[in-house]
Structure 1
Amino acid sequence: MTRPHGGGAMDGKTFDVAILGTGIAGSILGAILAKNGVRTLLVEQGSHPRFAIGESTVPETTFLFRLLGMRYGVPEISQLSTYNRVRRTVGTTSGVKRNFSFVFHRDGEPQRAHESSQLPTLSPPMGPDVHLFRQDVDAYLLGVAAARGAVVRQRTDVTSLDFGASGVELKCRDGSAFRASYVVDAGGVQAPVAKLFGLREQPTTMRTHSRSIFTHFHGVTPFDACIGPREGHGLPSPLSQGTLHHLFHGGWMWVIPFDNHPSSTNRLTSVGLNLDPRVHPPTGLPAEEEFRRFVARYPALAKQFENAHPIREWVSTDRLQFSSTRVVGDRYCLMPHAFAFVDPLFSSGLGISMGAINMLAWRLIEAKKDGDYSTERFMPIDARVKRNFAHVDRLVSRSYVAFSDFELWNAWYKIWALGTIFGGTGTLEAIGEVLTHGAGTRFEPYELAPFGGLQGSDLPEYMALFDRAAAEIDAYAEKRVSASQAAERIFAVIEESRLWPAPWGSPRARHPGVFTLPKVGPLIQWMQRDAPQGIRDAYARRFVLRHVVKMAADEWASELGYAGKLVTTLGRDFVTGYNRDWDRAD
């Protein structure tokens, strides 16, 4: 097989772009750049496979996976866009995510089944979403980047970065050295570029304030067995087949199972307890003891974890939030997870990263061609990433306030649910353009309002609603109104806005129903005909029902082809010993 042309120069030391870090964002960017002729170096201090969090996807993120693969000619990225694609391509160690479920708990009391809410994810062909078992997914993506031509150096510790007028010199602890025209820092909280230039805000300006205790467990009881019969909670999708959020005053817990599909081979569950230290100060106890003492206060939680055992070392953090003063500078760009972090709530981090990659990749490809690596070329990424984090901080900080009362939470989470649908639909519009126009698609308009902002944050009608609802949360936090009054006012402004889709029923209900294929058509029709004018002008104009039908046919054919190949291979192996499975054209 001929090696792709994205590798380094003949000396193996000179590159167009060096990416520091090979997590999901670094490897995806590396694969895209190498595929498109950019000499790319991926440098990793550790090695794969390795433990990582950031495991739960949301529709906006999975649509971006699909878009990145289509736009940049790397279909392996699109394989992350639904659970079934991951199962067929990466393996059976990831879990299915059919919903976001939220269960409210009161200290020392049995859980009240009706104090629960849910937002289902899309069914095939656009879903369901995925619980990514990151050690396998990240290793898969690093392999994709290498196959596309990126040069990979694992267990390589970069000790110095020397930025000059024409490029960057990288020196490593093992004595190796490299040169690149541009550096992308995908190193997370320990980002070396951020440290070099002193970019961290001290203290962070974020409003959210939380700490976390997390690990992977074996033996976590599905919460469906803890909450009681479905007749009691009335939710449309099994709680154990999605990302479960346990809510309580001053914090929340994620439960992300990887063993929740008939084809699952991974018996682990990711669990993280997230607490506002102003409400739940650090105890000084070992992480597991603090966790066990906390869950013992809530009978339903105690039942879910009574037979659970951690299989990794616990991670216990100080304050999670950090932020920086800039995303891009002279010959560098910080990936979003190296620039800032808010909180795991709503799984927004991957979405911000994929959106940034979509904006960054084509600029680097063009810079390779014309030699223009000026800061000005990349400044739109700086503005977009900052706006996205500011919006998520506003959303999450007020969610911690709403955790104290289920009625208030049931109103506030509807604001997030609307942002989820509008943010995802904006990405679908770009996908619709590709499906219609192919290589002739112009993507630049989709970096602008109303499409560019995460969670619909560039849509004026939605942000007007968000601002009014946030003001009610603030009024409750300042004790100017009761939780019931704030909830009622939020429901009133939702109804007044007319942004709640009619096919979803009443916004006061605890869930909008399921999003199976027959339900998608009415939602698209509502956006085209009955939604407020701003929605009709922006959405469901390029991505329309025929695209859903085509995607459904393609998904059906892919699943049949996958199953047929397995059966054919099994039958062949019954009768013959030799094959040419090793002769892979890709």
Structure 2
Amino acid sequence: MIISKTYDVAILGTGIGGTILGAILARHGLKVLLLEGGAHPRFAIGESTIPETTFMFRLLAERYGVPEIGYLSNFQRVRRHVSSTCGIKRSFSFVYHRVGEPQRLEESMQFSNAPPPLGPDVHLFRQDVDAYMLSVAVGHGATVQQHAEVTDVDFDGRGVTIATRHGGAFRARYFVDAGGLRSFLARKLDLREDPCPLRTRSRSLYTHMLGVLPYDACGDTHVDHGLPTPLSQATLHNLFKGGWMWVIPFDNHPSSTNRLVSVGLQLNLDIHPPTGAPPEEEFRRIVATMPKVARQFERARAVREWTSLPRLQFSSRRTAGDRWCMLPHAASFVDPLYSSGLAVTMSTINILASRLIQAASDGDFSAARFAHVETWMRRNFDYFDRLVSGSYNAYRDFNLWNAWIRLWMVGGLYGALGVLARVVHYQGAKDKLLDAPCEGFPYRGIQGHEIPEFAALFEAAQREMDAVVAGELASEEAARRIFQHVEASGLWPEPWGPARPGKRNPGGYNLALLMRTGQWAIDRAPEVVRRHFSRGASMPVILKLVADDWADEVRVSIGNAALHLRDYFVMANGDYDVAARRSLAMDTAPPPAEATSEPAASTAGAGPLSAP
């Protein structure tokens, strides 16, 4: 076997996780090889962001000096810099349905995302976004091999030898599996746990569709529901006993150039076991039980084959070893509910990248160095598994779910504030790479779940839910107790109003509410919040973000209009200078390793869930 090139880090999988990690490492001078069994553009899910994810894009850009990652941090930035094919996400919208009955307007809820300059969040059209991030990684010095299906990896004391189907072989000091569900290392090292121990038990059917009506156009608008933003400008969750459906539109903003809508149906295996029916037939059967949803989809048609997964959950006995590790979606998966996958992935990349950069310098690629990465990946998955499995249990009764989701709302606030506090910290840090405190308590847990007060709240609510499942407590009483626990915790922000069943949203998250919530975190929140989570919530920080964001929007808009006006009258121009400056700006890393030639082949990729 002829080794064509040697690299510091080889990454298998070129989805958003693998390419962001590759861009960071290459930016810091590591020789990075990105391996992909298929080719871009390609379909992938993991399309809906949450504030904790988009704030983490800002953190990675600031800490590691890769500004292009920051372009993913809200809808406006994506539209300006990446693609016009993505959708806007102003909120999470939840609508509860009873089989065969008209939807009850009061059985709905909404949790708004941050306004500009921090938001709104974004529906990522992954085939465009992943391809963009791949180009960013290459621009910073990474080498990419597409149509390079890996057939074997062989570890020794100094690194790993990687063989590909068409005879190419590579050598690396460290190997990262970012390959998703069909992880190569999971098969090679027999890492999958069987049976999977996760509490959540769900299966999934999903595709992209055309002709899906906006939910607000199907009869009742968000105003009728008493909610602050249109339900179609959100990730819409249609909830029912035993399952839920995502509706993620990419066409929900006037500037969008993409008519597709991502649609996925998740079913509790214990209530809706596999039927053997074709996926679309099963989808239509479930949709027909919800009159308003049936109207939403009556003219919809799939533009690609449906994907059907008999069980979504998988887990691994280990996620890191000597000279290898797995990114979260190659290691484990819970459920798409609450769009947690990208948040866990970006949080893991933050603590993994710093260790890989140090290891490339001192040569220590041992499992011990990466134990922290494995520990907190596992703990974050365990937290989301408990949160999601509790949600499936709560779908039996709207009032119970209405109470349970308050845990997610509280956690979402502190997860986002914790990341924002670190972004502000890094802006003034001298050594951003080795700044260990920002990788410690209480920032390691997604959704702030290691805050003692929040952990106590979650445990109390979990006991009530477990009693319901065991038949020891009525759903109505459990809901009442969970609301009491939320109020008693002191974590529910005063500007959101009281945590009561009738309060189905904290209000439209405009700039005024954002500032009031930030001031509460600084002045009146529990001590742990004031100490660790308020730094990014101060008025000067927010106002500076507003000024920078508005200036960027004006600059881009006026610049585009001026170029358009010029083109009416002048043919000659110096626009190539702009392209030249951009090219030179990317050339801040050492020259990339010389690309090798891998024969192209029509090989299948790792699958639609391959690389988050």
TM norm structure 1? 0.97
> Is the partner of 1:348 in helix, strand or coil?
helix
Q: Please report how far the alpha carbon of residue 579 of structure 1 lies from its aligned counterpart in structure 2 after TM superposition.
A: 2.4
Q: Note if contact 1:259-1:267 (Cα within 8 Å) is conserved in structure 2.
A: yes
Q: Which residue of 2 aligns with 1:125?
A: 117
Q: Which residue of 1 aligns with 2:511?
A: 517
Mapped to 2, the partners of 1:340 and 1:346 lie a distance apart of 16
> Is the partner of 1:273 in helix, strand or coil?
strand
Taking the TM superposition and a 5 Å limit, the aligned residue runs for 1:109-258 are 109-258=101-250
Residue identity opposite 1:574 in structure 2: Y
Taking the TM superposition and a 5 Å limit, the aligned residue runs for 1:480-499 are 480-499=472-491
Mapped to 2, the partners of 1:187 and 1:476 lie a distance apart of 38
Mapped to 2, the partners of 1:152 and 1:572 lie a distance apart of 38
Q: Which residue of 1 aligns with 2:356?
A: 364
Instruction: Report whether the alignment pairs 1:467 with 2:459.
Output: yes
1:582 maps to which of 569, 576, 579 = 576
Mapped to 1, the partners of 2:317 and 2:154 lie a distance apart of 20
Q: Which residue of 2 aligns with 1:548?
A: 542
1:443 maps to which of 430, 435, 443 = 435
Q: Note if contact 1:434-1:441 (Cα within 8 Å) is conserved in structure 2.
A: no
TM norm structure 2? 0.93
Residue identity opposite 1:134 in structure 2: R
Q: Which residue of 2 aligns with 1:529?
A: 523
Unaligned runs of 5+ in 1: 1-10
Mapped to 1, the partners of 2:544 and 2:352 lie a distance apart of 30
Q: Deviations over 1:209-253 (max 9, x none)?
A: 000000011111111122514443100111000100000000000
C-alpha change, 1:290 and 1:66, in structure 2 (3 Å) is same
Mapped to 2, the partners of 1:415 and 1:406 lie a distance apart of 15
Q: Which residue of 1 aligns with 2:567?
A: 573
Mapped to 1, the partners of 2:355 and 2:221 lie a distance apart of 53
Q: Please report how far the alpha carbon of residue 547 of structure 1 lies from its aligned counterpart in structure 2 after TM superposition.
A: 1.2
Q: Please report how far the alpha carbon of residue 198 of structure 1 lies from its aligned counterpart in structure 2 after TM superposition.
A: 0.9
Q: Note if contact 2:4-2:169 (Cα within 8 Å) is conserved in structure 1.
A: no
Residue identity opposite 1:556 in structure 2: W
Q: Note if contact 2:48-2:235 (Cα within 8 Å) is conserved in structure 1.
A: yes
2:328 maps to which of 336, 355, 358 = 336
- Give me the CA root mean square deviation: 1.2
Q: Please report how far the alpha carbon of residue 440 of structure 1 lies from its aligned counterpart in structure 2 after TM superposition.
A: 5.9
Q: Deviations over 1:34-77 (max 9, x none)?
A: 01000000000010000000000000000000110111111000
Mapped to 2, the partners of 1:532 and 1:359 lie a distance apart of 27
1:26 maps to which of 18, 22, 32 = 18
Q: Which moved more, 1:147-156 or 1:449-458?
A: 449-458
Mapped to 1, the partners of 2:221 and 2:124 lie a distance apart of 29
Q: Which moved more, 1:479-488 or 1:223-232?
A: 223-232
C-alpha change, 1:286 and 1:307, in structure 2 (3 Å) is same
> Is the partner of 2:480 in helix, strand or coil?
helix
List, as ranges, runs of 4+ consecutive aligned residues in structure 1 with deviation greater than 4 Å: 438-442
Taking the TM superposition and a 5 Å limit, the aligned residue runs for 1:215-364 are 215-364=207-356
Mapped to 2, the partners of 1:535 and 1:464 lie a distance apart of 15
Unaligned runs of 5+ in 2: 583-612
Q: Please report how far the alpha carbon of residue 524 of structure 1 lies from its aligned counterpart in structure 2 after TM superposition.
A: 1.4
> Is the partner of 2:535 in helix, strand or coil?
coil
Instruction: Report whether the alignment pairs 1:55 with 2:36.
Output: no
Q: Which residue of 2 aligns with 1:88?
A: 80
Q: Please report how far the alpha carbon of residue 294 of structure 1 lies from its aligned counterpart in structure 2 after TM superposition.
A: 1.1
> Is the partner of 2:576 in helix, strand or coil?
coil
C-alpha change, 1:165 and 1:231, in structure 2 (3 Å) is closer
Q: Note if contact 2:522-2:538 (Cα within 8 Å) is conserved in structure 1.
A: no
Q: Please report how far the alpha carbon of residue 576 of structure 1 lies from its aligned counterpart in structure 2 after TM superposition.
A: 2.0
Residue identity opposite 1:484 in structure 2: E
Q: Deviations over 1:99-118 (max 9, x none)?
A: 00110000010101110001
Q: Note if contact 1:111-1:227 (Cα within 8 Å) is conserved in structure 2.
A: no
> Is the partner of 1:389 in helix, strand or coil?
helix
Across the two proteins, how many residue pairs are aligned to each other? 576
Q: Which residue of 2 aligns with 1:5?
A: none
Q: Which residue of 2 aligns with 1:432?
A: 424
User: Higher relative contact order by CA 8 Å / sep ≥ 6: 1 or 2?
Assistant: 2
State the identity as a percent. Answer: 53
Q: Please report how far the alpha carbon of residue 582 of structure 1 lies from its aligned counterpart in structure 2 after TM superposition.
A: 2.9
C-alpha change, 1:426 and 1:155, in structure 2 (3 Å) is same
Q: Deviations over 1:529-556 (max 9, x none)?
A: 2112222222213552211111111110
Mapped to 2, the partners of 1:230 and 1:480 lie a distance apart of 37
